[in-house]
Structure 1
Amino acid sequence: MDPLVRAEVVIGEGTKQLLLETNVTLNRPAIKIRNITAEIRNLTTELIQDKVIIQGVLHKQIFFVGEDNIVHHQSEDVPFSTFIDIFGTEPGMNIQVHPVIETILFSLIKPTLLHQKVVVEFFVKVTESNQLNLVEGAGPLVRLDQVIGEGTKQELLEDTVTLNVPAQKIDDITAEIRDLTIEVIDDKVIIQGIIHKQIFFIGLDNIEYHQGEDLEFSTFLDIPGATSGMDVVVEPTIEFIHFELLDENTLLQKIVVEFFVKVTESIQINVMLGPGALLKLDTVVGEDTKQLLVENTSTLSQPAIKIREIVAKIERLMAEVIEDKVIIQGVVHKQIFFINEDNLEIHQSEDVPFSTFVDIPGAVPGMDVRIKPVIETVLFELLDRTTLRQKVVVELFIKVTESQQLQVQVAAPYGPYYF
């Protein structure tokens, strides 16, 4: 059966070059410019009909030799904005922008006046998430998100709030979802969060007042086939807000929230190239598994008669891809629970940094890397009342992928994305 996957359909792409020309006054006279480095910061994009608007800041570091023959530094920020036409683009689509500083030209017009020209190239790709049944074949091996299931649930959230100032009228109530947390268990997705409300009302003195309120909520949705560890996307939408002023201080509110939930699982398949959909896919360069023993001895904060439990998890995981290798760094965060000499349970936390590498032939800088860490075993031994030896076995599954644009065959036509 052809798998149903969630993939990025390519709407369009393009390249735009931008010349940024400025004059800057140096804070002291210079006899020569040593060098200028530049980078793009605060890059933001906005999609409108058939266009992508790009804004950001060109941050420059200017190094120059002063009249004292000492190298001095001065920085400069140059805001910019531009746009590129991409037919078919609409608000809400996904966008990837890769800026490249192509050229930096400069000339010292006079000891305190520097003229600069910077050429920046923007590569822009617009995609849209879509569900497709891909045909398996003998083409490239790609990583995809297979759709396990999806569903929609509406929830009515009702509460009564006491206003801090007597009101004669409610002007408006706005609401937004905050602090959304999601947990996948067998055949279910549990959703928790906060609805943050802004209440605007007219007091008895005809002055408009504001009052904020946070309403906690939790709900769940049945998704057959879902299991812990799968990926989930939740899109909440506030559909309706009803309010009624019961008396001068009591406000009744009813909010209808719709949750769209999609559960996916990462899979690898060989796709069939040919007429079909133009997709942005992650082709698999290589993968491997590495086991790591993280061993250390720590001093307890007070004498212990026994260790009850040690719970460990991986935090601050970072990876760097170099030629044919992936360097991995992180921290094993441990929670140590022990019984002291007064028979009280004591808690102590500990962070143990680690680093390792794994060989992935074909890996080069700039490729994407995914790491799935698993704590396999936590062993411990109380050497004396305050000295604890610990051994943690960590398994790291590493996958290196490269983003490519491929024309692949699908099992059935899918609207305008089928060619």
Structure 2
Amino acid sequence: MSKSWAINSKIKRRGLKVPIVAAPFFISPYTPPAHFRQSLIYYYRNLLKGGNRVANAKQRITVNQVVSEDTRQVVVRGTITVPDPKPDLEQIISTEKTASIKDTRLLPDKAVIEGMLTVQVVYVAFEPSQSVHHFHGQIPFTGFVDLPGALPDMDVEVDVLVEDIKITPSARDPRKFDVTAVLQVSAKVTEAREVEVLTAVDDNMQADYDTIHINDVVGRGTSQVIVSEEFEEPMEKPEPEKILDVDSTVTITEARIVANKVIVDGELTLQIMYVGAVPEQSVHDMHHTIKFTDFIEVDGAEPEMDVNVKAMVENCDVEIKGDPFFEATCVLKLDAMVTEPREVRVVTNCAGATMETVELNVEQLIGEDSSQVVVRETFETPQAKPCPEKIVNVSVEEIEVTDVKVIQNKVIIRGQVDVKIVYVSAEKDQAVHAMHQQLNFRTFVEIRGATNGMDVDVKPVVEYINAEPDNCDVNVEAVIKVRARVTEAMRREVCVDVVTEPDEDEDEDEVCTPGEIINYTIKSGDTLFELAQRYSTTVNRILQLNPGLNPNNLQVGQVIRIQCGAKG
């Protein structure tokens, strides 16, 4: 027998009149049928205790609760070296620095972060021609952020920003440079929690109400993806003899929802350092991007809902095969969370009554949208390079957002794209050369409701890029798509129950029969031992029905499952 049928049967047996015209709880266009039914059950159950009064009503919501967040500074020290094929350095013209997160591990009350600092250096060579050259170096780093309340099975988001960097020549080797950088590492831990909130109280009570906007978690799903591809080294590079190092990053370019599924498009970027198969055995560096499409199953997902996808490289192997050429095989982990915007009218206070409350600390989605920008720029060929006759290939090495500003109903974005152009020279030998240039872009995304001070996440993607020679210049054209997502932290204390004395006339056997599994809302002072005694079960049985439940960290308003045992 279902709960709703059992409750209606008791209503009929006791001869109560059930009003069906006006529901005592708030129903919005976003209220799913399951939540509406749950509210009806609570309404009728409480009506049994109060005769013809309008009783307390509840709705169950699932929110991505922020458990803890903090920011910490990390100092990174290391050394970068001018590669062997490059001439000695006389003067640094410019430096670009970026930091990326490679792995994050959650420990109790702490997040350990591993990442990579990448430094790009443009310099004047120590030679008579004073040609301009470019090289980059990478320095790994490890840091941690204290996050009270964090546990290993929770979700964590980490952002890193390079605040300052200093590069000085090494006293031991003129081709080495000491790097000291200051990073700002921000971490936020969240957990999906089910909470039953009060949406209406007895007519005799004077209650305060508020309408909150939340992103109700519909479901989550994970998937492992194997991405593999065979590819050759760039034309201007020698064939590989030995691979020294592989660095991999994954970017989600688009995510869309179909029924019970999330379709994901992404790019896997490989940075490979290898020894060339040439007599001097010089060390070379190359980039290669692999596009992929896959899906994640999420029960209950519908096209009009919102989705957030996180991707991580779990393992990546690159080998030298055949001609020779490279063969890459990488394992990715995709994690999707589907949410649905909801409006819930909740009770925030009730005069003259003792209320159990819970603090909701969640991110409220303000809006998400994208825009396209076309960038055209003309570059001169570097002095040390011959003029181009034909463009062989143009590729994006890196795209970075340098500045984001949120104003009224708009997000203004500035960024840069590092472009690599491979070309055939206009000289008699028609040798193949490569040059690096930087495209700057500026655009905005309109998001209704956005204001200064809100949080924003920006993801740029180069959708199209082309280059054409023009005498000794190169004309570059690119189409860049920028997606912005604006959120706002919402902290709100809401009521989850009215504290009343237990009703002596209540028939406990009818509410909870032996073998029945009920949903119980944690109240102030509850312990698993006390609940096990009350419902004639064991603590171990409660833990079996609630995987991941921490008996030492029960949250008021948290919903758990309990199987009722036989009394006595």
TM-score by length of 1: 0.45
**Higher share of residues assigned strand:** 1
TM-score by length of 2: 0.35
